[in-house]
Amino acid sequence: MLVKRMAYVGRFAPSPTGPLHAGSLVAALASWLDARAHGGRWLVRIEDVDRPRTLPGADRTMLRQLEAFGLVPDEPPVWQSARDAHYVEALQRLNASGWAYACGCTRRDLELAAARRGITPQRHEELVYPGTCRRGLRGKPARAARLLTAASLDRPEQPLVVDWNDRRLGAQRQDVSRSVGDFVLRRADGWWAYQLAVVVDDGLQQVSHVVRGEDLADNTARQIHLQRLLGLPQPAYLHVPLVLGADGEKLSKQNGAVALDADRPLEALRAAGARLGIHQEAQDVDAWLAGAIAFWRTRWVDRPPDASNPVAAPVSRPLASSGTTPASTT
């Protein structure tokens, strides 16, 4: 999987679990503005790899919504459901190199293992995988494929610690071995895991910059680990503020998110822009977007972010420290 680094390429990669809402628009707008401010290309990828959660027709609805808001990709969208062969190839390479292995653990197995160690999982957190099947299945049938999180194959017991820099959040560090453990590449139900699919697609689509919600920052270290193992370039990352629901959680259809009104695009763009520190008036969508690009170029391209940058403010809530799996926009 040889991929050559190209010029700026950004992307918006929603999961078709429903129409876009206010939180989705913030992520889409931020990634679009970053691409336009850099003079780059902007892609849309429909991440329908989690088939059980996919809502029929939601993909087309989202594309129509984006068009209504003036956010049109520079190439035809792609669907992950049509890219299975790429994920198979990547997993085969990881298996052949010794980094991936078969796992026979059930959810109940993981809960019992955690209980024996006195660990009670918190809300929105996954159980840290204890490495049960690292040395073989021991008679259990294979269910999933996992990736070894270690400093090297020669030192599998040494934790994997990944350092990276976020354009807004600054220097980041995660001990992936202790906070996540060996994570899933292919699920027990046969569907591909988000982490593998997003890394393979970003690499093949030559994505140079990833702009997404700050709830996904916790996934970055795992993705960097995979990028290194697959020989893929590491994109630049920018994680933007979230839109929260009335319950203080990330806005979603579970806590009251409503579909964007495509008949009132300017109003929705103004609200999304305000979350990104953009406060301006305009008579139509094209004029508003032009002004927003100029703002973004000044804040994020012509000079680095600093304390005066409204989007570079502290995160709205602490990042999760364990394996959070994204539910929508990546």
The H or E element that residue 287 is part of is helix 285-296
Q: Which CATH number characterizes residue 304's domain?
A: 3.40.50.620
1 found inside a domain: no
The reply to whether 262 and 230 lie within a common domain is yes
* Dist CA 91 CA 187 (whole Å): 12
In the chain the first and final C-alpha atoms are separated, in Å, by 22
**Phi first, then psi: what are they for 11, rounded to 5°?**
-155, 155
Residue 51 has pLDDT above 80, yes or no: yes
The reply to whether 161 and 254 lie within a common domain is no
With cut-offs at 50, 70 and 90, classify the pLDDT of residue 246. Answer: low
Which span out of 177-186, 252-261, 297-306 was modeled with the highest average pLDDT?
177-186
The reply to whether 77 and 89 lie within a common domain is no
Q: Range with the lowest mean pLDDT among 24-28, 48-52, 254-258, 283-287?
A: 254-258
Single-letter amino acid, residue 61? T
Q: How would you classify the pairing of strands 100-103 and 78-79?
A: unpaired
Residue 186 has pLDDT above 70, yes or no: yes
Q: Which CATH number characterizes residue 136's domain?
A: 3.90.800.10
The reply to whether 207 and 301 lie within a common domain is yes
pLDDT digits (tens, 9 = 90+) for 195-216: 999 999 999 999 999 999 998 9
Q: Tell me the mean pLDDT in the region 156-161.
A: 94
- Residue 327: what pLDDT? 41
Which span out of 1-15, 154-168, 290-304 was modeled with the highest average pLDDT?
154-168
pLDDT digits (tens, 9 = 90+) for 133-149: 999 998 899 999 999 99
195 found inside a domain: no
- Residue 110: what pLDDT? 86
The reply to whether 31 and 67 lie within a common domain is yes
The reply to whether 207 and 181 lie within a common domain is no
The reply to whether 147 and 248 lie within a common domain is no
Give the residue numbers spanning the domain of 275.
9-82+203-312
Listed residues 156, 186, 216: the one ending a domain: 186
- Residue 13: what pLDDT? 97
Closest to 16 in 3D by CA, of 85, 80, 86: 80
Q: What is the DSSP letter of 192?
A: B
Closest to 215 in 3D by CA, of 136, 315, 140: 315
The reply to whether 221 and 299 lie within a common domain is yes
298 found inside a domain: yes
* Dist CA 33 CA 211 (whole Å): 10
- Mapped onto helix, strand or coil, the DSSP state of residue 161 is strand
